[in-house]
Amino acid sequence: SEVLDAGVTAKRELFYVRPYHPPSEFFTTSDTDSLKALVSAVDFLHSMGRAHGSIKPSNVFAGRGRMRIADPSLCRNRTDSRRSLTEEDIRFSAPEVLSGGEISVDGDLYSVGALLYRFFSGRDPFEDSDLESLKAKYIWASPRSLGSVSHVSKVMGDIVTTLLDKDPRVRIAAFESLKEELDIAATPAVRAPAVGRREDVEKAL
């Protein structure tokens, strides 16, 4: 999502202003166009050498033929944030990030896998009413395979399973397979929304 304005508050906290986006249609359609748009958007971001760090349903806006990913994490480490992790944060953050690791491209790919798991099955890998227990499951437990909870093809099921693997090193190959499966060509980098804001970001960090 484009950035309209940005700066640093008196408390040295970075702020930015983005446009309002209507509620996402990502989970309300079975059309693979939304999947292709999401994967293309993530591919574009990573081609700029940037990790988003907060790819989750509330930050994905699909509709009217467009896809936007908004509100990236501005902390190198999600545990550095002064706010507690929400249920959504837990469900869509990579295990290594939940364990205190830094945000990364590999972590973003886990988030994409979690989004695809819900897109195809209508459910999430784990359930627990207690957030600490839910977090522990996402860090340590192995989810049921997507193929066992949906009618997705074996190829797509295997891709999503690998994107959700605890080992971040295997996710890039799975993402490349996902692009091939969805017939998505490489996305050339043109412009990032925060171009020209380096000074503001460095002041805040």
What tens digit of pLDDT does each residue of 77-117 get?
655 544 589 999 999 999 999 999 999 999 999 999 999 99
Question: What pLDDT shows up at residue 3?
Answer: 87
At residue 81, the pLDDT reads 46
Three-class DSSP labels, the chain? CCCCEEEECCCCCEEEECCCCCCCCHHHCCCHHHHHHHHHHHHHHHHCCCCCCCCCHHHEEEECCEEEECCCCCCCEHHHCCCCCCHHHHHHCCHHHHCCCECCHHHHHHHHHHHHHHHHHCCCCCCCCCHHHHHHHHHHCCCCCHHHHCCCCHHHHHHHHHHCCCCHHHHHHHHHHHHHHCCCCCCCCCCCCCCCCHHHHHHHC
Q: Which residues of 125-160 are buried (b: 16+ CB within 10 A; e: fewer)?
A: bbeeeeeeebbebbbeeebebbbebbebeeebbbbb
pLDDT of res. 200: 63
Looking at residue 189, what is its pLDDT?
46
CB of 167 closer than 8 Å to CB of 113: no
Tell me which residue has tokens 């446009």.
19
Question: What's the rounded Cα separation, in Å, for the pair 97 and 90?
Answer: 10
Length of the chain equals 205
Which residues in the chain land under pLDDT 50? Answer: 81-82, 189
Q: What is the model's pLDDT at position 188? A: 52
Place of tokens 């999502």: 1
Phi-psi label, residue 143: left if phi above 0, alpha if psi -120 to 50, beta otherwise: beta
